[in-house]
Copies of this chain bind each other. A is one copy, B any other.
Amino acid sequence: MSLKGFSVPLSPEGRATLTPLPPWFYSGDLLVVDFEARPEVVAAVLPPWLEPDSADPGGCTAFFADWQYASETGEERLDPVRSQYREFILLVNAGYAGRPVSTCPYMYVDKDSSLARGWIQGWPKKLADVCITRAAPLQSPAAPRVEPGALFAGTLSANGRRLADASVTLEKVSENPVYLGSRTILNVRYFPQLAGGAQARPAVHELVRSILSGAQRTEVWEGQASLTFFPAPDQELDVFQPQRIRRGYRYSAAFRVDDLEVVERLV
């Protein structure tokens, strides 16, 4: 077959594919709220290969991220509608082979190409609207600078319902920050089998780890944070309602995704 591309749709020129092969380049701003949910709520979303984190069984982190992306050709830079997207990531603590890790039970994004890359890497993305305060270089009541007292907010909505509201008020540069990747992330790559129905084993069901390079971070600022989840009939985020908010963070990051490691495989 001479069809080209990495994801569907494969096509003669490979331009129609939702995503080409890595490397995938990312640059973005992240608003982070580290918090504790009820440990049984965290335990209930762990995939087969992971156990609760005995040292911190209710530990969770919510990320609101405002990304720009480019493939190796970089053509997305001339068409920012294809480069830009925003997402919400919930990571929960887990243990794997005695080591502390994180895993992502729920994730939301506002662009199909990012949803496709997510599924391919084990991020269980659905579509949603995510909004995140942007930092500005000039002082104004309309936008914060990155400085003590600055207020950053993040919101998540899907199917016309608000799912999460968060805020972080910056205090200082953090000496021991929580950031995306501060714990190893093991996700579940999953693709169902329809033929055979409920009895069928999934076509893909494996524990994976993304292989990144070139990770950079700005200073991470920290401060007091708030986070509230709201119920929706087609979501299960609200059971993670924070029992205790630990700390909020705000920083910028850049990295590339190169490959994926399959850690465990069920099928």
Binds B, one of A51-59, A78-86, A177-185: A78-86
Q: Does A229 contact B (CB under 8 A)?
A: no
Asked if residues B254 and A136 are in contact (CB atoms below 8 Å), the reply is yes
Q: Does A143 contact B (CB under 8 A)?
A: yes
Q: Which of A3, A21, A75: most chain B CB closer than 10 A?
A: A3
Asked if residues B254 and A126 are in contact (CB atoms below 8 Å), the reply is no
Contacts of A262 in B (CB 8 A): 195
Chain A interface mostly: mixed
Q: For chain A, residues 117 to 136, give those with C-beta under 8 angstroms from any C-beta of chain B.
A: 119-121, 124-127, 129, 131-134, 136
Asked if residues A106 and B16 are in contact (CB atoms below 8 Å), the reply is yes
Q: For chain A, residues 144 to 199, give those with C-beta under 8 angstroms from any C-beta of chain B.
A: 144, 151, 153-157, 159-162, 165, 167, 188, 190-192, 194-198
Binds B, one of A93-101, A230-238, A241-249: A230-238
Asked if residues A121 and B68 are in contact (CB atoms below 8 Å), the reply is no
Contacts of A197 in B (CB 8 A): 21-22, 258-259
Contacts of A21 in B (CB 8 A): 197-198
Other-chain residue from B27, B124, B216, B260 in contact with A9 (beta carbon distance below 8 A): B124
Q: Please state the number of chain copies in the assembly.
A: 4
Closest B residue to A115 by beta carbon equals: B112
Q: How far is the CB of A189 from chain B (nearest CB, A)?
A: 8
Contacts of A142 in B (CB 8 A): 25-27, 67-70, 83, 254
- Bound together, the chains give a CA A165 to CA B77 distance in angstroms of 12
Contacts of A131 in B (CB 8 A): 79-81, 84, 160
Asked if residues B253 and A11 are in contact (CB atoms below 8 Å), the reply is no
Asked if residues A44 and B140 are in contact (CB atoms below 8 Å), the reply is no
Q: If A11-B236, A153-B78 touch, does A195 touch B218 (CB 8 Å cutoff)? A: no
Asked if residues B138 and A16 are in contact (CB atoms below 8 Å), the reply is no
- Bound together, the chains give a CA A77 to CA B131 distance in angstroms of 11
Q: Does A224 contact B (CB under 8 A)?
A: no
Q: If A68-B142, A195-B208, A195-B261 touch, does A236 touch B151 (CB 8 Å cutoff)? A: no
- Bound together, the chains give a CA A81 to CA B162 distance in angstroms of 11
- Provide 8 A-B residue pairs closer than 8 Å at the C-beta atoms, listed in order of the A residue: A7-B192, A16-B106, A77-B133, A82-B159, A84-B131, A127-B127, A156-B160, A195-B259
What 10 new A-B contacts, CB under 8 Å, besides A21-B198, A195-B262? A9-B105, A68-B134, A75-B233, A78-B151, A80-B132, A84-B131, A119-B191, A131-B160, A191-B191, A195-B208
